[in-house]
Amino acid sequence: MNELVTRLHREVITYFAATDLTQIGHTETVHNFAQLIARLENRDERTQCLIEMSALLHDIGCPNAKLKYGNTNAPNQEKEGKPLAEQMLAGYPMPEEDKALIAEVVGAHHHLSMLKTLGFEILAEADLIVNLLEGYYKPEQAQHLYDHFVTTESGKELYRNMFLKKP
C-alpha cells in the first residue's frame, strides 16, 4: 500500500499547486506528524497507509470552500472535501470500503469523537499540532487543547515536548 500513499502524495501536491499553494506546507507537515504518530503507536501497515492517505487529503476541500463560501471554515471544507476525496480515490486499486472510510474521515476531520470512532484520532492530533505551530491557536490554549483533544500516548508525548514544557 505504500505505493498508493506515494501516488496520492504526488496527486495532492499537484492539486494544491494548481489551486492553493499555501496548502502544500500544511498538508506535508500534518502528513509527517500523522505518519510519525501512527508508527510510534505501532499501527499495522494497512492502518498506517489509511491514516497517511487521510492526512494527505484532510484539507483537500479548502480551495473549493474558499471559492464557494469565501472561507475555509471546518463545515465548508469538510463538505467540499469528502466528495473530492471520493473522486480522487476512485481509480485507486484498493478496497472500496477503504476508499469510503478515507472519504468519511476527510468529511469529519474536525470531529474528534467521530475520528476516534473510526480509529483516526491520530489525524486530529497531527492537525492540532500543526495548527498550533502555525499559530491558529494561542499558546495559552495548549493545555486545554491537550486535555481535550490529544489521546494517543505518542501524540501526548510529542505534544508535551513541543508545547507544554516549562521555561
pLDDT digits (tens, 9 = 90+) for 56-88: 999 999 999 999 999 988 888 989 999 999 999
Read off the pTM. 0.94
User: Which class in CATH covers the domain with range 2-163?
Assistant: mainly alpha
Q: What is the mean pLDDT of residues 133-160?
A: 94
Q: Would you say 97 and 104 are in contact if contact means Cβ atoms under 8 Å apart? A: no
CA–CA separation, 151 and 11 (whole Å): 30
Q: Which of 75, 14, 51 is nearest to 126 (CA)?
A: 51
117 or 133, which is more confident? 133
Average pLDDT over residues 96-110: 94
